[in-house]
Chain A
Amino acid sequence: MTSHAHAVHGDMMVPDQTFEPGMRIYNMKLGMWVFLLSEVMFFTSLIGTYIILRFAHPDHFADPGVVLNVTLTAFNTFFLICSSVTMVKAFAAIQKGDQKGLKLWLLATIVIGAAFVGIQAVEYATLAEEGFVPAAAEYHAVGRAAHEAGAAGAAGAEAPIVGGPLYGATFYTMTGFHGAHVSIGVLCLIFVLIRAMRGSYTAADHRGVELIGLYWHFVDLVWIILFTIVYLI
């Protein structure tokens, strides 16, 4: 296809690049979208499994806020949404050829993304201290759960049971896979930042920034769904 044809029908978001004639977007972006769609099915399988287990064994799962710290996770959700904003700001900056803006917004995204992973690690450590670990035979109300259940001071086997093995297994599987995706995203962002510092991206060609941006926003999108299903319902 000629350059003119591309200009008329091509990808709206970036300047002329090698692109797939049928899709009218450049090849790497098409590849990223196909990858993300496979990720949609991956996370759907996890969520579908969670739903069937929760309906089949409601006694294994606690009400919102009893075991999991909704306030802390809401703050973490806020951080991830902020990181999506900083990511699009980085993209908008390089679209205008603003190299300094690109680096600053990328750095901000990395810091916020790393903070998300750090807070998730703190959450895991706290829950594990309270005995909420993957595949525990049963989860007794200790710590936050004991307080919410009105059994303050109770601990161990004497405390009421507020969850079974499926709760911990599904919680850590879903949030763990998402956390792994965020961690990989942070590493990729660091790579993109290093390339940005070397001046690899310009207003005319900033495909790497757009591709990591797509991935990062997808991770944010998945968390929006997971936060609702795992923490609020």
Chain B
Amino acid sequence: MTTEAHTQGEHHDPPYMIIFGVLLVMTLAEVGYAFLSLPKVWLAVGLCVMAIWKAILVALYYMHLRWEPPRLWVLVAVPLPLVVILIVAVLTEF
């Protein structure tokens, strides 16, 4: 893609403010959800899902990962299995 095509093309105006609104609403939802009278497990699962979803939005839109070459996606994906292994291995200790 040329510079001109880049500045005039589909990547010209990523939805920064929409993502900001979503992050804000999800943060408020998280705080509200954290104080619901639910079992601890459901609270933890729900909060983790919301947090991971917010992190993905930041990576995709603010760090522009969505528009990066596929090979960078592969590079970014490399530590994720290690992250899962570390966390799951820790959790299975109990």
Contact = CB atoms under 8 A, between A and B. Distances in A.
Contacts of B17: 85
Interface string B37-67: 0000001100110111011001100111001
A51 B27 contact: no
A224 B55 contact: yes
Contacts of B94: 55-56
Contacts of A214: 63
Contact of B58 (A70, A74, A92, A224): A224
Nearest to B16: A88
A232 interface: yes
A37 B76 contact: yes
A121 interface: no
B63 A217 contact: yes
B47 A232 contact: yes
A12 B65 CA distance: 10
A48 B27 contact: no
A84 B62 contact: yes
Interface residues of A, number: 58
A11 B5 CA distance: 12
Contact size range, B = 35 or more
A77 B93 CA distance: 32
A184 interface: no
Nearest to B19: A85
Contacts of A13: 6, 11, 64, 67-68
Nearest to B77: A37
B23 A89 contact: no
Contact of B1 (A10, A88, A218): A10
A233 B43 contact: yes
A122 B90 CA distance: 33
A159 interface: no
Interface stretch (A38-46, A112-120, A130-138): A38-46
Contact of B87 (A44, A84, A95, A233): A44
Interface string A26-65: 0000100110010011001101100110011000000011
Given A13-B67, A224-B55, A224-B58, A64 B3 contact: no
A87 interface: yes
A44 B34 contact: no
Given A33-B72, A74-B31, A48 B86 contact: yes
A44 B86 contact: yes
Interface stretch (A15-23, A149-157, A166-174, A192-200): A15-23
A232 B71 CA distance: 35
A233 B62 contact: no
A96 interface: yes
Contacts of A189: none
27 contacts: A7-B2, A8-B1, A9-B69, A10-B1, A11-B68, A12-B1, A12-B68, A12-B69, A13-B67, A15-B3, A22-B71, A24-B69, A25-B72, A34-B75, A40-B83, A44-B82, A44-B87, A55-B90, A74-B28, A84-B58, A88-B14, A95-B7, A213-B63, A214-B63, A217-B63, A224-B54, A233-B34
